[in-house]
Amino acid sequence: MTLFADPSFFVLLVPTVGVAAAIGLSGHTLRHYGLAASVAFLACVFFKTPGQLVALLAFLALSRIAVMQLARAPKSRTRYAAAVLATLTPLVTYKVTSIVDLGLWGFVGISYITFKATQIVIEVRDGLIGRADLGLEDWLYFLLFFPQMSSGPIDRSRRFIADAHATPDRDAYAGLLARGILLLLAGALYKVVIATWVHRVYAPSATGDALQQLQTALVYGIYLFFDFQGYSLMAMGASYCLGIRCPRNFRAPFLATDIIDFWNRWHITLSTWFRDFVFMRFTRLVMRKKLIGGGRLRVAQCAFIVDMLVMGFWHGLAIDYILYGLYHGLLLAVTQTVQKRSKFWRAHRREGWFRACSWALTQALVFLGFAIFSGQVGMLLGWD
């Protein structure tokens, strides 16, 4: 079974939401039921792939040991490095071995569960989470919460646990439930209906004239949005039904007027995760150690490139993903430079004609990025 895709998933989701509604409307906590439902759904997901289940259990055991050891001495650099290494090892192993089609230590949702487990390690190191906050049930619920398991959105542990422990009154939960059901229906329309229809049109090819290649890039970008936004809406909807206010993942990305604005609207939870845990930490490290000259702007330029390159490698070790990350890193660096240094940009940025031109250029660059990500550019240039 595939989450938010197979008919069997939706058949099971309906009674799951029904039971959640009965519990929530009666004024009881949904935390224990939510964890039990997540375990049940994941059991269905891994029913035909026991090897993936073993890989997941091994990941959980390794990351649990690592974070609990760090919690004993959160300021220990050795323990911190060991905890980060232990948490990232399964994902790195999977990505590297996938190059030769082995996919060792892989399981459904490994990328997103690694994000969350790594986040907890960093928050323990920063003193935001103490050992008393690392109860096994809460830790497992955060990592295994089925609506966010396979493709996000990437929630934050303290916000998630606060929602999980809260018991809203009848009216408050009724509002969450109603919104959750509407989000589920909207997401199903986006993913199951619109994205499926658009996907039938998309067929990447190294042949065809420039107009056909442009059409292919546009169709793929539109498909990617409706598919991913549809999934995200359904994930939000299921989360709301279980009493968890899942963060939104998209905010009208095709209205963005520059690349920085685009990443503030597209896959928001991913971009903010990288901003907080890669970009900002790289920036602080470089400035503290004075590793890069040229002032704050040069540091920000390098941080954008590193940030997006890491995101590219996270998607996979294929050349398309790596170049996609580098491409957007360079675009962000150039955009930052223009906005900080260009008098022309500052003089005209609020004018209608300038905003229209900026929007058109941004969308052209965004869809070119989608073409790189999908492998279309690689096929045309012969590296795929």
* Helices within the chain (DSSP H only): 7-25, 31-45, 50-72, 77-97, 110-125, 136-144, 157-165, 170-188, 196-201, 210-241, 259-263, 268-274, 280-289, 295-315, 319-341, 343-348, 352-374, 376-381
Q: DSSP readout, 369-380? A: HHHHHHTHHHHH
Q: Among candidates 138, 241, 231, 122, which has minimal Cα distance to 180? A: 241
With tokens 């602080």, the residue in question is 284
Query: Measured between alpha carbons, how far is 216 from 248 in angstroms, rounded to an integer?
Result: 28
Contact 81, 121 (CB under 8 A): no
Query: Measured between alpha carbons, how far is 200 from 109 in angstroms, rounded to an integer?
Result: 26
Contact 373, 367 (CB under 8 A): no
Question: Of these residues, 28, 165, 267, 315, which one is catalytic?
Answer: 315
Query: Measured between alpha carbons, how far is 246 from 231 in angstroms, rounded to an integer?
Result: 13
Contact 166, 34 (CB under 8 A): no
Q: Pull the structure tokens for residue 12.
A: 């099971």
32 noted as active-site residue: no
Query: Measured between alpha carbons, how far is 192 from 195 in angstroms, rounded to an integer?
Result: 6
Q: Pull the structure tokens for residue 175.
A: 């509002």
Q: Among all residues, which ones are annotated catalytic?
A: 315
